[in-house]
Chain A
């Protein structure tokens, strides 16, 4: 029977064998295609972040609980006293809710929708900095993606999500849900959250989710 060390040595030796040079025709083909291949605008960063530590998870979870409590309190019916008529408002439903990691960032998300009104919070934690988004708007596209965005209300990530800019997240439904962040880069702040999403969708369309990794964790998305 082989030992672990023998197996490792055999595998390493075996891996040393094989192709080491890219054929010129492949390289030529790539370089021929480059002029006709537009570079993607950096609306969303494809950077890698380290996993959130336990404390950060606890804080994110606590923040999510507070958000739920706050949103729940705000949605409590307020009667106008004896004989007052109860306000009829659309029932809030879950728009997106979950805790997961994507592109190396750890996300705590709790967004609800009541009619056209979106409320909730997204907390994003990573090595380079954290930020919180007060979620205010959403769009679902015919291609199946769900866009949720809002104002950055707290941030230690001045590069990607400075305070008072807009940010959000896109989900692509499927057997493996995929997600990516969107940020207000180099553009003037849109007048409204919905205008921000509309501009993003108009300018960049559906992102190429084939190049994204699925989220790790769970998220409940509105149908």
Chain B
């Protein structure tokens, strides 16, 4: 991120912040959507995060660390949205599991469906680690810094999350394998 823009926005320059918001809005929204798995929640979280970034920018001491800092604020907004809407958040499947299609495509659809289910069973803590590491390609050390937890905790969360997702994929594969044996 342009540190000059960050510095100007820190001093209250609204135009500079608008440029920042345009530059980072898509990325933050992509992250929140992947973590929350709900378009409405993701929009609310992104909006709250952008406002929090504006509000708290003067507290950011090192403009060079703006990206990691903004991710942290976004994750806090995701936690808040996740808590606020948890009671009624729909647990929808993206696609019906029995949708007819070719073998390869079916496998892909089933995988996505099972991953969606498995991912929704994870806590926001675990989802955040998966998304930051596997979507943003951030090293685990940086993930730990963003989340404010020890590296060991991040490793543990990632292991737990990936184990859950793998189990979700395998749960889908099991009936097909049994069918093939018969």
Inter-chain contact B30/A20, CB cutoff 8 Å: yes
Interface hits, A1-51 → B, CB 8 Å: 1-2, 4, 6-8, 10-12, 14-23, 26-27, 29-31, 33-35, 37-42, 44-48, 50-51
| Chain-B contact segment, one of A60-68, A113-121, A167-175, A210-218 | A210-218
Cα separation A12 to B112 with both chains bound (whole Å): 11
Contacts of B146 in A (CB 8 A): 48
Cα separation A26 to B73 with both chains bound (whole Å): 17
Question: Which A-B residue pairs are the 3 nearest by beta carbons?
Answer: A22-B29, A22-B25, A46-B59
A37 to chain B, nearest CB (A): 6
Inter-chain contact A34/B170, CB cutoff 8 Å: no
Does B62 have its Cβ within 8 Å of any Cβ on chain A?
A: yes
Q: 6 more A-B contacts (CB under 8 A) besides A2-B170, A48-B68, A50-B145?
A: A8-B134, A11-B134, A14-B112, A29-B47, A39-B12, A47-B59
Q: Which chain A residue lies CB-closest to B136?
A: A15
Does B97 have its Cβ within 8 Å of any Cβ on chain A?
A: no
Given that A15-B131, A34-B54, A46-B59 are known contacts, is A10 also in contact with B29, CB under 8 Å in the complex?
no
Inter-chain contact A20/B26, CB cutoff 8 Å: yes
Q: How large is the interface on B (under 10, 10 to 19, 20 to 34, 35 or more residues)?
A: 35 or more
* Total A residues in contact with B, Cβ cutoff 8 Å: 48
Does B65 have its Cβ within 8 Å of any Cβ on chain A?
A: yes
Cα separation A164 to B84 with both chains bound (whole Å): 44
Inter-chain contact A31/B131, CB cutoff 8 Å: no
Contact surface of A with B, Cβ cutoff 8 Å: 1-2, 4, 6-8, 10-12, 14-23, 26-27, 29-31, 33-35, 37-42, 44-48, 50-51, 103-104, 159-160, 210-211, 213, 216
A6 to chain B, nearest CB (A): 8
Which of B33, B43, B46, B62 has a CB less than 8 Å from the CB of A18? B33
| Chain-A contact segment, one of B15-23, B85-93, B98-106 | B15-23
Residue pairs across A and B with Cβ atoms less than 8 A apart, 16 shown, are A2-B169, A8-B134, A12-B135, A19-B42, A20-B30, A26-B25, A29-B47, A30-B47, A30-B51, A34-B17, A46-B69, A103-B148, A160-B61, A211-B52, A213-B148, A216-B149
Contact surface of B with A, Cβ cutoff 8 Å: 10, 12, 14, 17-18, 21-22, 25-26, 28-30, 33-34, 39, 42-43, 46-47, 50-52, 54-62, 65, 68-69, 72-73, 76, 80, 111-112, 115-116, 130-131, 134-135, 145-146, 148-150, 162, 165-166, 169-170, 173
Cα separation A28 to B54 with both chains bound (whole Å): 14
Contacts of A17 in B (CB 8 A): 112
Inter-chain contact B30/A7, CB cutoff 8 Å: no
Inter-chain contact B76/A26, CB cutoff 8 Å: no
Query: Chain A at the B interface: mostly helix, strand, loop or mixed?
Result: loop
Contacts of B130 in A (CB 8 A): 11, 15
Contacts of B62 in A (CB 8 A): 47
Q: Which chain A residue lies CB-closest to B144?
A: A51
Which of B21, B34, B55, B169 has a CB less than 8 Å from the CB of A31? B21
Number of residue pairs across A and B with beta carbons under 8 Å? 141
Which of B22, B26, B34, B61 has a CB less than 8 Å from the CB of A45? B61
Cα separation A27 to B26 with both chains bound (whole Å): 10
Given that A39-B58, A46-B56 are known contacts, is A7 also in contact with B166, CB under 8 Å in the complex?
yes
Contacts of B111 in A (CB 8 A): 10, 14
Inter-chain contact B42/A159, CB cutoff 8 Å: no
Contacts of B42 in A (CB 8 A): 19
Q: Which chain B residue lies CB-closest to A46?
A: B59
B138 to chain A, nearest CB (A): 13
Given that A40-B59, A50-B145 are known contacts, is A26 also in contact with B134, CB under 8 Å in the complex?
no
